[in-house]
Amino acid sequence: MAKYEIATIDGDGIGPEVCQSAITVLKEACGSGLLAFTGHDGGADHYVKSGHVLPDDTYAACKAADAILHGAAGMPGVTYPDGTEVGNDLHLRLRFRLDLYANVRPIRLYQGVDSPLKHFKPGQIDYVIVRENTEGLYASRGGGIVLRDEVATDTIVVTRKGIERVARFSFELARQRKGAPRDGKRRVTVCDKANILRTYAFFRSVCDDVAAAYPDVDIDYAYADAITVHMLKRPDFYDVIVAENMFGDIISDLGAATIGGMGLSASAELGDTHGLFQGAHGSAPDIAGQNAASPLATILSGALMLRWLGDKHADAALTDAAQRIELAVEQVLAKGDHVPRDLGGTASCTDMTQAVCRALSR
C-alpha cells in the first residue's frame, strides 16, 4: 500500500490536461509505493451533468486524503438556476470547508524564461506571496448588495484570528526559507492600504503583534499600490509578502507576469490540517482540449505538495522528490529545447510533460 493518498480533481478546461501531466511527473519522481492517486469528480462541467459542483463523495475523499491535487475549475456560461456563474466554486468550496487559509504562491524566475524582468538573474527574483484566503474583501462574495440599481456595496471583513494565523504562517515560512536572506535577515513584507482603510490598518497592527514573537525576522510594510511598482523595479528586495485576500490575488498575478506568466505560477492552499495544490491560473477555456496548455504551474504545484507532505511527515523521500522535480523543470527551461506556447514556444502539454520526465530520469 502507498504511504500517501492523493485525491485528484481534474476539473474544467485545461484542468484535466495539466492535472494528468502533474500526476505523470509525480509518479516518475516518486516511483511506486509512495503516492496513490485517486481521481474524483467536480467542477462546472460536472455540475452540468449531475447538478453537483462538489459532490459529497469528492468532498469526503478530499477530507480523508493526505493532500489534494487539482487541475482548475470554471467554465464561462455555466450558471446556477439564479443566474450566477458556477465559476471555480468547486475550488472555493474546498477552500472554505477545509479552512485553507494560507495561499502560498512562490515567485521565482527561472533561467531561460522570456520574462519582462529577464535582466534580473534567476536567484534575484525568488520570493513568496502569502495571500490570506478565507476573509478580506472576497469573503463578501455573493453577499454584496445592489440598491435600487443605483448603489452597490460589498463588505470587507478581517478578524484578529484570521490575520494572526496567516501572519504567523508567513513568519514561520520566512524562518524556514532557504537561500541567502535579503540584507542578512529574513523579511516579511505586509502589503496593505493602512493609510486609507481601517481594516487594513488593523491588518497591519495585528501583523505587528505577531512579529513581536519573531525578532529574528524583519517586518516591512508596503501599500498595495506602491508594491506593484516595487515588484517590477526591485523584486530582489522581497522574501515573503503577506497580503489580504484581494490584494494577494492581484499582486500574485503581477508576480506571475514577472516570471513568465500564469503557466509558470504554482500555488498551494494550506490550512492547519489540509493542503490543496494547483496552478495559480484558471481553466483557460480558450485553449482547452488542444494540448496547448503549459503544465509547468501544476507540476511545480505538485512539487510544493511533496515539500509540504515531506515537512509534515518528516519524510525525506518526498522532499528529495520535490527538489528533483524543481531541478528538472529548471533544466528543461534553461536548455530551451522545449518551450511551452505561453512562453513563446511550440511545445505541447504532453511535450513538456515528457521533457520534465526525461530530465528527471537523468
297 binds ligand ATP (CB under 6 A): yes
Residues in CB range of 199: below 8 A, 6 or more apart: 136, 156, 157, 158, 244
- Judged by CB under 6 A, the chain residues 25 through 84 that form the site for ligand ATP are 74
Question: DSSP string covering 133-170, please?
Answer: -SSBGGGGTTT-EEETTTEEE---B--HHHHHHHHHHH
For ligand ATP, the closer CB: 284 or 318: 284
Helix (H, G, I), strand (E, B) or coil at 318: helix
> Which is nearest to 191 in space by CA: 260, 136, 154?
136
Which position among 138, 200, 214, 238 bears the catalytic label?
A: 138
Look-up: residue for cell 477555456?
Answer: 285
Q: How far is the CB of 300 from ligand ATP (least distance, A)?
A: 11
Separation CA 65–CA 127 (nearest Å): 29
Q: How far is the CB of 223 from ligand ATP (least distance, A)?
A: 24
For ligand ATP, the closer CB: 105 or 187: 105
352 binds ligand ATP (CB under 6 A): no
The answer to whether 214 is a known catalytic residue is no
Considering only residues 252, 283, 348, 354, which one is a binding residue for ligand ATP as defined by CB under 6 A?
Answer: 283
The answer to whether 320 is a known catalytic residue is no
Which position among 63, 118, 193, 312 bears the catalytic label?
A: 193
The answer to whether 149 is a known catalytic residue is no
Distances (CA, A) of 362 to 22, 162, 268, 286: 18, 44, 27, 35
Q: How far is the CB of 357 from ligand ATP (least distance, A)?
A: 18
284 binds ligand ATP (CB under 6 A): yes
Bridge pairing between strands 240-243 and 126-132: parallel
293 binds ligand ATP (CB under 6 A): yes
The answer to whether 4 is a known catalytic residue is no
Residues 299-313 as b or e (16 or more Cβ within 10 Å = b): bbbbbbbbbbbbeee
Name the DSSP letter for residue 234: -
- Judged by CB under 6 A, the chain residues 244 through 273 that form the site for ligand ATP are 262-263
Q: Hey, what's the cell of 297? A: 504551474
Residues in CB range of 192: below 8 A, 6 or more apart: 200, 201, 203, 204, 221, 223, 224, 243, 244, 247
For ligand ATP, the closer CB: 113 or 309: 113
The phi and psi torsions of 84 (rounded to 5 degrees) equal -75, 150
Which position among 45, 239, 249, 351 bears the catalytic label?
A: 249
Considering only residues 11, 16, 255, 282, which one is a binding residue for ligand ATP as defined by CB under 6 A?
Answer: 282
* Stretch of residues binding ligand ATP (CB under 6 A), selected from 133-141, 153-161, 191-199, 276-284: 276-284
User: How many chain residues are in contact with ligand ATP, going by CB under 6 A?
Assistant: 17
322 binds ligand ATP (CB under 6 A): no
For ligand ATP, the closer CB: 88 or 258: 88
For ligand ATP, the closer CB: 282 or 302: 282
Q: How far is the CB of 10 from ligand ATP (least distance, A)?
A: 14
Which position among 57, 183, 225, 286 bears the catalytic label?
A: 225
Query: CB of 271 within 8 A of CB of 102?
Result: yes
302 binds ligand ATP (CB under 6 A): no
Please provide the distance, in angstroms rounded to a whole number, between the alpha carbons at the two ends of the chain. 27
No. of helices (H) and no. of strands (E), the chain:
11, 12
The answer to whether 126 is a known catalytic residue is no
* Stretch of residues binding ligand ATP (CB under 6 A), selected from 38-46, 96-104, 284-292, 353-361: 284-292
- Known catalytic residues are 138, 193, 225, 249, 253
Binding interface with ligand ATP (CB under 6 A):
14, 18, 74, 88, 262-263, 279, 281-284, 286-287, 293-294, 297, 342
